[in-house]
Amino acid sequence: MSVEHHAFHVTEHLPALAAVVPLIGAVAAALVRNGVAAWLVAVAVAWSLPVISILMLGQVEASGPISYALGGWAPPAGIEFRVDQANAYLAILVSVMAAVVLTGAPRSIADEIEPANRAWYYAVFLLCLCGLMGMIVTGDAFNVFVFMEISSLATYVLIAMGRDRRALLASYQYLIIGTVGATFYVIGVGLLLAMTGTLNLVDLAASLPEVEATRPLIAAAAFIVVGLGLKLALFPMHLWLPNAYAYAPSTASAFLASTATKVAVYLLLRFAFSVFGIDFMLANTPAGVMLMTLAALAMIAGSLSAIFQTNVKRMLAYSSVSQIGYIILGIAMVSETGLTGGISHLFNHALIKGCLFLAVASAVFATGAVRIEDMAGLGRTMPITMGAFVIAGLGLIGVPGTAGFVSKWYLIQGAAEQGMWWIVAVIVVSSLMAVVYVGRIVEVAWFRAPAQRAPREAPIELVAATVALAAAVLVFGLNTDFSAGVAADAARILIEGYAR
Amino acid sequence: MRLDTILRVIAKIFIPFILMFGLYVQLHGDYGPGGGFQAGVIVAAGIILYAIIYGIAAAQRAVPPGLVEVMMPLGVAIFAGVGIAGFVTGRNFLDYSNLMHGDMVHGQHWGVFLVEIGVLVTVSSTMLAIFYAFAGRGRE
């Protein structure tokens, strides 16, 4: 056997690095055991991932999808990491959100988490990021499950680290529901394996049309859709989400709200469009009608619940339930316009909710309280943070000039194309409800007298991260080429499915 | 249970064999059923038995919590390090074929052997960390 020596070229290993770098970072953060040092590791790792993701996207655009054989075992037998435009974009989104949140995090974390646990927090954060990046880049159905478990287990720990004791209960609730979701997913994958003998997504997509018995495939599709529905908190499978976001450490809420559910949505898209194929889904399952109904219910019920919350983080969490409804609505329309709206809303909502949760993290740092009442007068004492909150809040409502408008516009257009005027009505009603719950905060923060004791100064890095995201909400609202253009590309790729 | 002579003597006789059996399961994983996970659980069970019979303080003198906290990430580092060795030897992540200078069979053998060591370290320390966390409740 000949001895071959190849130099190590980073550019050949980008898909693996996307998952390996945060894994190594998590180990390093756990080994240094010091909060500040662990934060430095985490920030370095988190900012290397957008670079990796952007390089991946460059490669994909230059020479088509990247296939990476993990362990040197060629797909479909071995585990394949497969990156095309759709998941390269998502990798950029998730890694940038992680980087921005981590950059803003250190003093908020120091405030909310006791010293002995700070390094563990960053380690677990990076582990969660490793799982999410893995779910994005992998092209193997079972490998998705492995990374899903990595990110989920890390998420349970992140939530449990909240300083409120109810965080433990919230974490436990999510552990139960999340495990059910992951189990349903893996049952579905098991059925697919039994029927086709393969776990590779591209190979699955190629083999499924040859399977004659459709009943097991329908069962598989049902298990996978419901399992992912639990993970992405689609109404009425959202019950874990409000408590989880409300009691997790503030920066963990910001990170999870802007990434975790989005990755589950991506997987739903992958399975519905690329693996099963939309013709199969629509012909054999009521997925289209069912998802659309649930999405519409989510948009109304989520917004309605948000209006009646007294805890600002819970309010934002219920708002997430309704915004996930918008995303799923776009998917359920099964048209290029609808899907463009859904995917661009996925991106925009990540920016908007990340900004809102970071603004709340500042408010929590400054006043130590999460009740809406306690935010009285914050607009006067923390004008920059609350200004960013208002901008992102306008994005949530969908005011023209903000990112939220672009995606809602596509959704309304998609509904109008198919003559579904009741959907247009639901979008408008849900947006009006957003005016109410965002308006409540704005009223309390800007039009009420500040509390007697002056709040603490919010950390500059946290304010900077919040403002950066608020600026992004405006930039992507005005420059629609990027946000909608990227989403349209991703929609086209998903509808085409895997190139056979 | 510290006063029960039979338990103390039997445990003292058994624990070395339990640890040895753990190593057997670890090393035999290449040829038959076994491997790092099972071995890690067996090794941790031996130490947990020691803690049950001789008390948590004695167990923590033998295996300090600080060591456990280092071992958990260390095992992952060993696993990931083997993966990165794949990069360094000009292969893909976790491809150990070039690990022993191009001798593919030995490379694969050593690669999976080291990976299983990493699994042993992390699994045994994680089991212990969970046990210490439960057993230590209410003592602080």
Say whether residue B64 is in contact with chain A using an 8 A CB cutoff.
no
| Chain A environment of B93 (Cβ under 8 Å) | 13, 16, 20, 68, 70-71
Q: Which helix (H) or strand (E) holds A83?
A: strand A80-83
**Inter-CA distances, A408 with A301, A430, A469, Å:** 18, 11, 19
> pLDDT digits over B43-98, tens only?
999 999 999 999 999 999 999 999 999 999 999 999 999 998 888 888 888 888 88
CA dist A25 and A31 (Å) reads: 10
| Chain A environment of B80 (Cβ under 8 Å) | 20, 23-24, 27
Angle at A64 (CA atoms; ends A146, A411), nearest 5 degrees: 75
In this complex, how many residue pairs, one in chain A and one in chain B, have their CB atoms less than 8 Å apart? 68
Own/partner contacts of A171-177, CB < 8 Å, gap of 24 or more, are A171/A244, A173/A239, A173/A240, A173/A243, A173/A244, A174/A240, A174/A241, A174/A243, A174/A244, A177/A230, A177/A237, A177/A239, A177/A240
In total, how many domains does chain A have?
Answer: 1
Say whether residue B104 is in contact with chain A using an 8 A CB cutoff.
yes
3-state secondary structure of A358: helix
What local confidence, expressed as pLDDT, does residue A7 receive?
65
To the question of pTM greater than 0.90 for the whole model, the response is yes
Cβ–Cβ gap A72/B92 under 8 Å: yes
Q: Is the peptide bond before A50 cis (omega within 30 degrees of 0)?
A: no
Residue A125: inside a domain, yes or no? Answer: no
Q: Are the beta carbons of B69 and A33 closer than 8 angstroms?
A: yes
What local confidence, expressed as pLDDT, does residue A251 receive?
94
What local confidence, expressed as pLDDT, does residue A37 receive?
94
Nearest residue in chain A measured CA to CA from B74: A27
> pLDDT digits over A156-205, tens only?
999 999 988 899 999 999 999 999 999 999 999 999 999 999 999 999 99
| Distance of residue A91 Cα from the nearest chain B Cα, in angstroms | 19
In total, how many domains does chain B have?
Answer: 1
Structure tokens at A207: 């083999």
What local confidence, expressed as pLDDT, does residue A500 receive?
43
CA dist A263 and A86 (Å) reads: 11
CB-nearest to B83 from A3, A20, A68 is A20
Residue A479: inside a domain, yes or no? Answer: yes
Give the domain range for residue B41: 5-135
Residue A28: inside a domain, yes or no? Answer: no
| Distance of residue A181 Cα from the nearest chain B Cα, in angstroms | 25
Q: Are the beta carbons of A25 and A52 closer than 8 angstroms?
A: no
| Distance of residue A122 Cα from the nearest chain B Cα, in angstroms | 13
Q: Does residue B4 carry a pLDDT above 50?
A: yes
Say whether residue B1 is in contact with chain A using an 8 A CB cutoff.
no
Give the domain range for residue A329: 286-500
ipTM of the complex: 0.90
| Distance of residue B55 Cα from the nearest chain A Cα, in angstroms | 25
Say whether residue B118 is in contact with chain A using an 8 A CB cutoff.
no
Q: Which residue, among A298, A295, A319, A321, has the nearest Cα to A307 in the 3D structure?
A: A319
Q: Are the beta carbons of A103 and A461 closer than 8 angstroms?
A: yes
Residue B71: inside a domain, yes or no? Answer: yes
Task: Write down the number of H helices and E strands in chain B.
Answer: 5, 0
Cβ–Cβ gap B76/A23 under 8 Å: yes
Cβ–Cβ gap A20/B98 under 8 Å: no
3-state secondary structure of A451: coil
Residue B140: inside a domain, yes or no? Answer: no
What local confidence, expressed as pLDDT, does residue B38 receive?
94
Q: Does residue B140 carry a pLDDT above 60?
A: no
What DSSP letter does each residue of A283-341 carry, written as one string?
HH--HHHHHHHHHHHHHHHHHHHHHT-SBHHHHHHHHHHHHHHHHHHHHHT-SHHHHHH
Chain A contacts in chain B segment 6-25 (CB below 8 A):
none
**Inter-CA distances, B47 with A204, A383, B12, B25, Å:** 45, 57, 11, 16
Mean pLDDT by 10 residues, chain A (500 residues): 58 91 94 92 95 94 90 88 90 95 92 90 95 95 95 95 91 95 96 93 90 88 94 91 93 94 93 88 85 94 94 94 94 89 92 95 87 85 90 92 90 91 92 93 87 76 94 89 81 74
Alpha helices, DSSP H, located in A113-164: 115-137, 141-160
Residue A296: inside a domain, yes or no? Answer: yes
CB-nearest to B103 from A1, A16, A72 is A1
3-state secondary structure of A82: strand
Residue B138 burial (CB < 10 Å; 0-12/13-18/19+)? exposed
Residue A368: inside a domain, yes or no? Answer: yes
Residue B70: inside a domain, yes or no? Answer: yes
Determine the distance from the C-alpha atom of residue A16 to the mean position of all C-alpha atoms in its chain, rounded to a whole number: 21
